Amino acid sequence: MRKTFLICVAVIFSAGIFAPLGSLFLRITPEGFVQVINSPQFSSAVWNTISTGLIATIISLTLALAAAWTLERTAIKHKNFFVIIFGVPMLIPSISHSFGLVALFGANGWLTNIFQWNFNIYGAAGIIAGSIMYAFPVAFFIFMSVLQCEDGSPYLAAEVLGVPKIRQFLDLTLPYLKRTIISTFFAIFSMIATDYGVPLMIGGKTITLSVLMYNKAVAMMDYNSGSVIGAFLIIPAVIAFLADILNPAQKQNDFAKNISVDDKYSSRAGFIFCLSLSALIVAPILTFCVMIFAAKYPADMSFTLYHVMRTIHRGALDNWLNSLIIAFISAGVGTIFSFALAYFSTRTEGFAARIIHLLSIFPMTIPGIALGLGYVIFFHDLPIYGTLIILAAVNVMHFFSSPYLMMRNTLEKISSNVEAVGKVLGIPRRFIIRDIILPKVRFTLYEMFAYFFVNAMMTISAVSYLAPPAPKPIALMITQFEAQRLIESAAVVSIAILLTNLALKIFFTMLNRKTPASQ
């Protein structure tokens, strides 16, 4: 049984990760490599990627840390509301953030028209702004969860010793967050550098590496140059991966106390800050909602269903259904697969468990666009190419690591003595898993399912190479409408994705509330 399981895992990872990645690297020839790196486009793309990426990373991390700290350490009101709002950008594709910015600050944007002022949103400024909107929620939730676990005892001691709040932040909070800040910095930089949705839409003449790769591999079908750039895009993700594993997590003190929020420490500035951030996050989405139903945004704001109907007539409904099927398959298969691997790596010991763990976190190092190109090269002549199966497969492999780590963290908190008791009492392992483990981890299972689903609904990276012309994942219609300058239809698609993801999130929230804590 164990041997069969390990063979299956080896086959899946070989076919799903290593063979496509190997095919990508095998495409790189010395001549092609030299040609790409000597091109003027390449050096400017490298500079643009690093400069915009670094600025956006620093700003998103600063905002995310400030927001997380404000919500965790002050007594401001409506915390749950802010948490929900800050999470909304995670439910729409990255390209939609740029659309929102264009709708507000672009040449014909709402705010541009009101203020009659050129915001110069196209180019590096737009890439930075869009990337911040895209990356902020990810960093925010990382900081929130880490701050929630912080031991409150040192703060009690500091209060008693009369240490001012600012020194508590500098001398206690920041050192505690050091590891998280370092690994989140690399993770967010890698996320921004490998995303092509934001720069494609709003970058104008500022081309980043990911857009260059998209242009080469998707638009010009130049897979050799695409492979060279794809290999370069793996570098930041590998650095992020190494930063994470070389910077091990601190063990939580067994006697940790929760940090109590002092009611007197209510922060008006914190509330205004969170409210302003929420406004910035909600504004593009609200603009989308207005734009969808406006006859000609922003000149003629009379109500119409024309844009919605036009989007449907162009195949949005079929593509939406197609996306739903892909998302459900990806989420179902991905959840089962990541649970199985997390269970194996936490509940068994030895070399095989360590290898499974390393294999499971390895997909984090591969940007979606590089993986997608690898799939094109490797699977091109196989019968599954162009089918739903390959789209679901690439989603599962691309998004696998995070749900795996979610489940691993949950399983590590469950004593392995449960299985030991099962063995001693003669309870078969499948019953221990079904009756004891699964009920205990069900909330994590829901989270994993939602993670796969939401990402499968909105991804435009790996699937952009693999999707057939019709039906295709609905998120890809945004790039199509971008090319056709049908901004209202792109907004319809963005809102459709947002509502679908929101519906799933609400469903799981209700399920969590309805499911009894015990059976």
Partner 1 sequence: MDIQLKLEVKEISKAYGNNEVLRRVNFAVLDGEFFSILGSSGCGKTTLLQILIGLLVADAGKIFKDGADITTLEPARRGMGIVFQNYALFDNMTVFKNVSYALQFHSVDNEAAIKKAAQMLDIVGLKNFSAKMPAELSGGQQQRVAIARALALEPDIILFDEPLSALDASTRLDIRRELKNIQRTLGTTMIYVTHDQEEAFALSDKIMILNRGVVSQIGSPEEIISAPANDYVKTFVLDNLQTKIDSLRRFLT
Could you tell me the CA-to-CA distances from 153 to 65, 169, 172, 436 in Å, in that order? 21, 14, 11, 34
With binding defined as CB under 8 A, does residue 507 bind partner 1? Answer: no
In the list 59, 261, 275, 427, the residue contacting partner 1 (rule: CB under 8 A) is 427
> Segment near partner 1 (CB under 8 A), from 69-77, 273-281, 322-330, 414-422?
414-422
Find tokens 């993801």 and name the residue: 501
> Segment near partner 1 (CB under 8 A), from 122-130, 380-388, 428-436, 474-482?
428-436
**Contact status, residue 335 vs residue 449, Cβ threshold 8 Å:** yes
What φ, ψ does residue 301 adopt, rounded to 5°? -95, 15
Q: In the complex, what is the shortest distance from the CB of residue 441 to partner 1, in angstroms, rounded to a whole number?
A: 10
What pairs with residue 296 in β-bridges?
Answer: 300
Q: Which is nearer to partner 1, 299 or 424 (CB)?
A: 424
> Measuring CA to CA, which residue among 409, 53, 422, 370 is closest to residue 214?
370
Supply angle C-alpha 510, 502, 330, rounded to 5. 95
Q: In the complex, what is the shortest distance from the CB of residue 419 to partner 1, in angstroms, rounded to a whole number?
A: 9
**Contact status, residue 496 vs residue 474, Cβ threshold 8 Å:** yes
With binding defined as CB under 8 A, does residue 415 bind partner 1? Answer: yes
Show the tokens assigned to 87: 């999470």
Q: Which is nearer to partner 1, 428 or 468 (CB)?
A: 428
With binding defined as CB under 8 A, does residue 426 bind partner 1? Answer: yes
Task: Give the whole-angstrom CA distance, residue 47 versus residue 43.
Answer: 6
Q: Which is nearer to partner 1, 80 or 518 (CB)?
A: 518
Q: In the complex, what is the shortest distance from the CB of residue 440 to partner 1, in angstroms, rounded to a whole number?
A: 6
With binding defined as CB under 8 A, does residue 512 bind partner 1? Answer: no
Q: In the complex, what is the shortest distance from the CB of residue 422 to partner 1, in angstroms, rounded to a whole number?
A: 8
Q: Which is nearer to partner 1, 296 or 440 (CB)?
A: 440
In the list 167, 313, 354, 423, the residue contacting partner 1 (rule: CB under 8 A) is 423
What pairs with residue 300 in β-bridges?
Answer: 296
What pairs with residue 303 in β-bridges?
Answer: 294
**Contact status, residue 68 vs residue 140, Cβ threshold 8 Å:** yes
Binding characters for partner 1, 241-280, by CB under 8 A (x = yes)? ----------------------------------------
Task: Give the whole-angstrom CA distance, residue 4 versus residue 15.
Answer: 16
Cα distance between the two ends of the chain: 29
Q: Which is nearer to partner 1, 46 or 427 (CB)?
A: 427
Q: Please state the length of the chain.
A: 519
Task: Give the whole-angstrom CA distance, residue 10 versus residue 4.
Answer: 10
Q: Which is nearer to partner 1, 114 or 256 (CB)?
A: 256
Residues 449-468 that bind partner 1 (CB under 8 A): none
Helix H, strand E, coil C: the string for 348-363 is CCCHHHHHHHHHHHHH
Q: Which is nearer to partner 1, 3 or 430 (CB)?
A: 430
With binding defined as CB under 8 A, does residue 420 bind partner 1? Answer: yes
> Measuring CA to CA, which residue among 272, 304, 468 is closest to residue 387?
468
Q: Which is nearer to partner 1, 358 or 420 (CB)?
A: 420
Q: Which is nearer to partner 1, 178 or 423 (CB)?
A: 423
With binding defined as CB under 8 A, does residue 436 bind partner 1? Answer: yes
With binding defined as CB under 8 A, does residue 439 bind partner 1? Answer: yes
In the list 428, 434, 443, 509, the residue contacting partner 1 (rule: CB under 8 A) is 428
Q: In the complex, what is the shortest distance from the CB of residue 249 to partner 1, in angstroms, rounded to a whole number?
A: 22
What pairs with residue 294 in β-bridges?
Answer: 303
| Helix (H/G/I), strand (E/B), else coil: 296 | strand
In the list 80, 116, 260, 519, the residue contacting partner 1 (rule: CB under 8 A) is 519
Show the tokens assigned to 31: 């001549």
Burial class (CB in 10 A: 0-12, 13-18, 19+), 134: buried
With binding defined as CB under 8 A, does residue 517 bind partner 1? Answer: yes
> Measuring CA to CA, which residue among 208, 262, 280, 235 is closest to residue 43?
208
Residues 328-347 that bind partner 1 (CB under 8 A): none
Q: Which is nearer to partner 1, 262 or 349 (CB)?
A: 349
Handedness of CA 219, 313, 394, 408 (dihedral sign): positive
With binding defined as CB under 8 A, does residue 1 bind partner 1? Answer: no
Q: Which is nearer to partner 1, 185 or 343 (CB)?
A: 343
In the list 34, 305, 421, 499, the residue contacting partner 1 (rule: CB under 8 A) is 421
Q: Which is nearer to partner 1, 22 or 439 (CB)?
A: 439
In the list 290, 304, 440, 502, the residue contacting partner 1 (rule: CB under 8 A) is 440
**Contact status, residue 130 vs residue 98, Cβ threshold 8 Å:** yes
With binding defined as CB under 8 A, does residue 513 bind partner 1? Answer: no
The count of residues interacting with partner 1 (CB under 8 A) is: 19
> Segment near partner 1 (CB under 8 A), from 111-119, 176-184, 217-225, 435-443?
435-443
| Helix (H/G/I), strand (E/B), else coil: 132 | helix
Q: Which is nearer to partner 1, 329 or 432 (CB)?
A: 432
| Helix (H/G/I), strand (E/B), else coil: 376 | helix
Task: Give the whole-angstrom CA distance, residue 225 versus residue 296.
Answer: 40
What is the per-residue burial (b if ≥16 Cβ within 10 Å, else e) of 22-33? ebbbebbeeebb
Q: In the complex, what is the shortest distance from the CB of residue 410 to partner 1, in angstroms, rounded to a whole number?
A: 14
With binding defined as CB under 8 A, does residue 350 bind partner 1? Answer: no
Give me the residues that bind partner 1 (CB under 8 A), please: 415, 417-418, 420-421, 423-428, 431, 435-436, 439-440, 517-519
